Structure 1
Amino acid sequence: MRVEALLQFALAIAFIVLWVFMPAWSISGANYSISLTPWGYVVRFFGETHVIPPPTVYAVWLFALDAGLLPLVWRRSRYSLYLATLFSVLSLSMLMDTILFQQRYLQFHGYTIAPTPTGYIYVLLSTKPVLGLPTYILLALTILSIFNMATRARWLGTRVIEDPIVAVERVLKVLHIEYSRIEGGVKVGGIKIIRRDDSLLLVNEHRIDEVDLGTAITEAVKVGLKQPVSVGVVDYGED
């Protein structure tokens, strides 16, 4: 699993979580404020609170979540990075569109429109618009998504080290090779691959060898298919 993809997922989650606790955009003045939250605009006016939910606000966090999840759940193709970038751009676009909603429907010739129990009133108060931290995180997510797409999520050049036994099992499952789990490893035909501390042991009837992950996978596939097979697993490779 690529570290770059994990960073993209972390930014998506950070954006959504932070947005719950702080607005992505707001204007505030004396006894009056409008805050953009994941469930819509929260308007507060002299103690009265109203929520105005533009439909685009829900698309913002749904697209952002998709942009973070796709590179993790669909790793076999580079097209997941393209689609994740599209979702991140759409998320940012929906956020800008939602902010423009306020400019279009909640303001009129310098007056701010405030909902009341019986309708709306026009308020002329000194207000200050502010972009919140979630907006900047979403912008960072979009930039990172584009960068990951352009580099196929390889700009750091590192991977998250996973359990080698899990990696062996994944290859065997993809190739539909029968195997059995044993304590500390797997058994394929007449060989066993066992993890001991930070080493992999290849055990057969005659000897025990310490091998690397690539050798362990190759030997397991050879035994499973009864013929030499070269196996390679590349995240976001060519289809």
Structure 2
Amino acid sequence: MREVAERLGVGRAEIGAQGALALALLTSYFLLPTYQLTSTIYFQSVNGLGLEIDFMGHRTHLLLASSLASATMFAISGLAPIFWRSKYSLYLSTLAASLGTSLTFSTLVFRERYFSYNGFSILPTVDGAFYVRVPLTQELGPPLYLSAVLLGLTVMNSWTGGRWIPWGKEPLIDRVVSQVVRGDFVNALRRLAHEMGAEIEELEEGRLVVNGLEVTRSSPNLRSVDFFFPRSRGRETLLLGKERAILLDRRGVKVMSVERAVKHLASRMLETEVSKREAVRSEAESP
């Protein structure tokens, strides 16, 4: 599941599971009843659009704002962490799932209040209503259970920061290497910098600078002269390919694996952060 989530751009399996569950909930919400009363001649159900009543083939649809609003809240709950990469999106998801579940129960309360009376089921007409009393069977539909599961999942993700699945977690270096090998060079280094709390400088044409080290990728558009004679004189240069990496520094040219190159970049980022912390500490201690 984790690999599928990363390919979809979700980032973590926990967030991917939440989005998939929200999608399943929305699909069932409009296709299956949340609550229904059934008999041989009478049928009443609550779904994502509102209330549906069928009496001897005569069907009536009633759109309810609470049902449509709850569907909107469930959609926000599933999509917010995917498009907004922040811990606050997890809190927003929990809030949206809570509101969606509350609105669903509000719809059920509305049905019980206005479409049921003293054992009779109400059939609305153009100029009034019929009171129908027949043996009925009550059933709770899958959307109600899925909404409860989604609410619990969003609470779990908010509580743990979306990191509670104990299996299938690759180390950061392995994940970045896999992304570089797949050709997603820029996003791989962005992820590495984000996870380590470091900053990288982005130049034109897909070039990055990490603590004075210019990083570029191997592509048909890259000429050898651009690598061995970089535009920024005196700056170390790292060429990342899908299988090998080449480091050009004052001591010469080194050929290394992609994994070793990523570890070298991680150490450079760590050096930058340590230097910043020492500078801040020195400023704080100076009179």
Q: TM-score, normalised by structure 1?
A: 0.80
| Superposition deviation, residue 211 in structure 1 | 3.5
Q: CA RMSD in A?
A: 3.0
Instruction: Say whether the 8 Å CA contact 2:241–2:258 is kept in structure 1.
Output: no
- Partner of 1:203 in structure 2? 246
Of the three residues 188, 204, 219, the one matched with 1:183 is: 219
Compare CA radii of gyration and give the structure with the larger one: 2
User: Measured at CA, do residues 86 and 214 of structure 1 come closer, stay the same or move farther in structure 2, by a change above 3 Å?
Assistant: farther
Structure 2 CA distance for aligned equivalents of residues 216 and 109 of structure 1: 75
For 1:70 and 1:85, locate their aligned partners in 2 and report how far apart those are by CA, in whole Å. Answer: 10
Please report how far the alpha carbon of residue 119 of structure 1 lies from its aligned counterpart in structure 2 after TM superposition. Answer: 2.9
Q: Which residue of structure 2 aligns with residue 137 of structure 1? A: 146
- Note if contact 1:184-1:194 (Cα within 8 Å) is conserved in structure 2: no
User: Match for 1:208: what amino acid?
Assistant: V
Change (3 A) 1:192 1:214: closer
Structure 2, gaps ≥5 residues long? 1-10, 207-217, 275-287
Q: How does 1:64-213 map to 2 (within 5 A)?
A: 64-76=74-86, 78-157=87-166, 158=168, 163-164=179-180, 165=185, 166-168=187-189, 175-181=200-206, 182-183=218-219, 190-196=237-243, 201-205=244-248, 206-212=253-259
CA offsets 1:131-180 (integer angstroms, 9 cap, x no match) = 11111111100011111111111111455857232322566897441153
Q: Which has the higher helix share?
A: 2
Q: Is the 8 A contact 1:148 1:155 kept in 2?
A: yes
Higher RCO, Cα 8 Å, sep 6+: 1
Residue segments in structure 1 that go unaligned for 5+ positions in a row: 232-239
Change over 3 Å in CA distance of 1:84–1:101 after alignment to 2: same
- The verdict on how the C-alpha distance between 1:184 and 1:210 changes in structure 2, with shifts beyond 3 A counting, is farther
SS in 2 for 1:153: coil
Residue from 31, 43, 68 that aligns with 1:58: 68
The answer to whether the 8 A contact 1:184-1:195 is kept is no
Name the residue aligned to 2:12: 2
- Partner Cα separation in structure 1 for residue 128 and residue 56 of structure 2: 15
Residues 214 and 120 of structure 1: is their aligned pair in 2 closer, same or farther, counting only changes over 3 Å? farther
Quick check: 2:240–2:258 contact (8 Å CA) kept in 1? no
Q: Does the residue aligned with 1:163 lie in a helix, a strand or coil?
A: helix
How far apart, in 2, do the equivalents of 1:99 and 1:138 lie? 14
Q: Percent identity?
A: 24
CA contact (8 A) 1:20 1:37 kept: yes
8 Å contact 1:13–1:65 — kept in the other structure?
A: yes
After TM superposition, give the deviation of residue 63 of structure 1 in Å. 0.7
In 2 relative to 1, CA 125–33 (structure 1 residues): closer, same or farther, beyond 3 Å?
same
How far is 1:6 from its partner? 0.8
1:106 and 1:163 mapped to 2: Cα distance? Answer: 56
Which of 42, 49, 52 is the equivalent residue of 1:42?
Answer: 52
**1:183 counterpart letter in structure 2:** S
Aligned residues: 221
Give the Å deviation of 1:217.
4.6
Aligned mates of 1:172, 1:150 — CA distance in 2: 24
Structure-2-length-normalised TM-score: 0.68
Residue identity in the other structure for 1:56: S
